[in-house]
Amino acid sequence: MRRLYPLMLALLLAGCAQYQAGSRNPLIRTSYDAADQLVQLTQPTLPKDAPLIVATFVHLDHLTEAATLGRVLSEQVATRFTQMGYPVVELKLRGSVFVREGKGELLLSREVKDISLAHNVQAVVVGTYATSPDKIFLNLKIVRPQDNRVLSAHSVAIDLNETTQALLLSEPS
């Protein structure tokens, strides 16, 4: 049993180091900070006893499409909500959500209410992004699906660099 303690400690420390390394990545940090801001700005406050849905973030001019960047950012925001203790419904496991191969979970308004009722969802996190020559502008909202009321909104500017450019251009094969 004594031999297991050093191994368990090493695995725990490796996990902590890996979390810290990921959270220092600028794109992940931006996503996590945006989720934190959304929660802080939400009125009324979101209770942690009812689930949320995080939809794929889409391009502002093409609302039925998302580059890999939109899917990555929405996954990171969903991760942060989970870390904060909010139950997040995983849409990829549902058959009734509008999912196009390589496009992510794109929620149609009629489906939001159906899914919200089925899972007793208190809110949906949605986002859009647009690009300029040197920035990606990401706009996030927490919306109450019962009446489409925006409970909070937050915007961030992300540097357009080699990584984000690759995520904008990449499509699954």
C-alpha to C-alpha distance for 126 and 137, rounded to whole angstroms: 14
Closest CA to 84 of 153, 38, 25, 44: 38
pTM listed for this prediction: 0.77
DSSP 123-148: EEEEEEEEE-SSEEEEEEEEEETTTT
Q: What is the pLDDT along the chain (173 residues), one digit of tens a residue?
A: 555 444 444 444 444 444 444 568 999 999 999 999 999 999 988 999 989 999 889 888 887 777 899 999 999 999 999 999 999 998 765 444 444 444 444 454 556 667 777 778 899 999 999 999 999 999 999 999 888 899 999 999 999 999 999 998 865 44
Tell me the torsion sign for CA atoms 90, 45, 76, 103. positive
Q: Which residue has the tokens 């992300």?
A: 158
First to last CA, the chain: 48
Residue 116 contacts residue 96 (beta carbons within 8 Å): no
